[in-house]
Amino acid sequence: MLNSPEFKQIIIKKFPALKDDEGFEIIDGSNPNYNCIAWAANVKDRWFQNLPLDKRPYINFEGVVIDWPFEADDEFSIIALKQIFTHYGYIECENDYYLEGYKKVAFYELNGEATHAARQMTHGRFKGKWTSKLGSGPCIIHSHCRGISGDDYGEPVYFMKKSMS
């Protein structure tokens, strides 16, 4: 079961702050076709991974499309993530607070290295909460972008927003 206590405990073991997060929910099972960067960009048909420009896109032996869009720098960095999301219409913003009429994304860093991206939900019962794709694993909802901070993803260090109008 997707939201079984046992499955949730596996995730909480990796992200202890989720233990006290009443909004923590698993919303989709494992899927190898996209990762957190693609999920934050609302793309579900490719895995965003840094690749040299002449190797984009690449289809791996499992049929997964690996891509690094928009001629972004071919290193995985906050700078490259900013380039990608700028092409999607996002601009820099100061914080992770919910702002009516805007989509937001957060980029995470650990030891100076980019690690993860999450996006803020803008409608329905998850409005204002954050969603993350955990590698090739499940997609989750967490109440605060810092809910998955720690040894795996580090901390959210950069935020961008995009007008929904």
pLDDT per residue as tens digits for the range 72-94: 888 999 999 999 999 999 999 99
DSSP three-state, residue 145: helix
Range of the domain at 111: 5-163
SS3 readout for 34-86: CCHHHHHCCCCCCEECCCCHHHCCEECCCCCEEECCCCCCCCCCHHHHHHHHH
Beta bridge partners of 65: 59
State yes or no: pLDDT of 1 exceeds 80.
no
The pTM of the full predicted model, rounded to 2 decimals, is 0.95
Mean pLDDT of the chain: 95
pLDDT per residue as tens digits for the range 110-150: 999 999 999 999 999 999 999 999 999 999 999 999 999 99
pLDDT value of position 71: 87
Tally the domains of the chain: 1
pLDDT per residue as tens digits for the range 30-64: 999 999 999 999 999 999 999 999 999 999 999 99
